């Protein structure tokens, strides 16, 4: 529960930094946008580290993907979500170097939309798997 | 905004920039994936609570 709550905070903060990256590129400030994109990647990395810690604890306590219905969905959905976080981080890294060189600025907005979606998915997963706990 | 890059990034056949339309199209498919999983989980959890587990164990 605590790890999930921290991760919610981390992801919401990462959404803020991607908005700041978009705001910076709208003003033509490439360096600032580059910096905020890398902050977002950093927050994504923190999210994944906490997720790994959480998975480890659960597996040690014997809760694996084959345990029961709850754990099957827990690992499938949070794992799929984590893959989306990794994908977003890789694409953001590629975009950051593009904008530093001075082209494809519109992609900051597009990756921002994607990142907000990933955040939104977590907002559904958190109450479903950490609060309701069927 | 830079106008360099692939033609799809600055051409719009629908009134919406093609890149933005593409990302919304991707997100629509993602909504089906995650929405489907959430719906399945909620439905199966409710069924288990209503005794499907007992019913299946008799089969």
pLDDT tens-digit profile of A32-71? 999 999 999 999 999 999 999 999 999 999 999 998 889 9
By CB atoms closer than 10 A (0-12, 13-18, 19+), residue A115 is: buried
Query: What is the CB-side half-sphere exposure of residue A53 using CA atoms within 13 A?
Result: 12
Domain map (residue ranges) of chain A: 2-131
Q: Do A134 and B4 touch (CB under 8 A)?
A: no
Q: Is pLDDT above 80 for B6?
A: no
Residue A104 in contact with residue A18, Cβ under 8 Å? Answer: no
What is the Cα–Cα distance from A52 to A68, expressed in whole angstroms? 20
Residue in A27, A25, A51, A31 with CA at minimum distance from that of residue A111? A25
In words, the CATH class of domain A2-131 is: mainly alpha
For residue A93, the tally of other CB atoms under 10 A from its CB is 12
Contact list, B49 vs chain A (CB under 8 Å) = 134
Give the contacts of B27 (CB within 8 A, at least 6 positions apart): A113, A114, A117
* B43–chain A Cβ distance below 8 A for any pair: no
pTM, rounded to two decimals: 0.88
What is the Cα–Cα distance from A81 to A119, expressed in whole angstroms? 9
Contact list, A71 vs chain B (CB under 8 Å) = none
Q: What is the mean pLDDT of chain A?
A: 94
Res A120: pLDDT:
96
pLDDT one-digit tens code per residue, A92-116? 999 999 999 988 898 999 999 999 9
Contact list, B23 vs chain A (CB under 8 Å) = 110, 113-114
- For residue B55, name the pLDDT band (cuts at 50, 70, 90): low
């Amino acid at each position: 529960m605590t790890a999930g709550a921290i991760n919610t905070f981390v992801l919401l903060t990462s959404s803020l930094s991607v908005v700041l990256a978009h705001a910076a590129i709208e003003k033509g400030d490439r360096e600032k946008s580059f910096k905020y994109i890398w902050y977002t990647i950093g927050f994504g990395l923190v999210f994944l580290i906490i997720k790994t810690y959480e998975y480890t604890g659960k597996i040690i306590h014997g809760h694996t993907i084959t345990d029961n219905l709850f754990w099957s969905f827990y690992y499938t959905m949070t794992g799929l979500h984590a893959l989306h976080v990794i994908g977003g981080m890789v694409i953001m890294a590629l975009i950051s170097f593009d904008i530093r060189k001075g082209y494809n600025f519109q992609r900051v907005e597009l990756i921002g939309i994607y990142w907000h979606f990933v955040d939104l998915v977590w907002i559904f997963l958190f109450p479903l798997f950490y609060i309701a706990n069927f | 905004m830079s106008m360099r890059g692939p033609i799809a990034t600055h051409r719009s056949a629908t009134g919406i920039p093609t890149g933005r339309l593409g990302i919304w199209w991707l997100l629509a498919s993602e909504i089906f994936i995650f929405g489907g999983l959430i719906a399945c989980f909620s439905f199966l959890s409710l069924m288990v609570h209503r005794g499907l587990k007992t019913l299946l164990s008799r089969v």
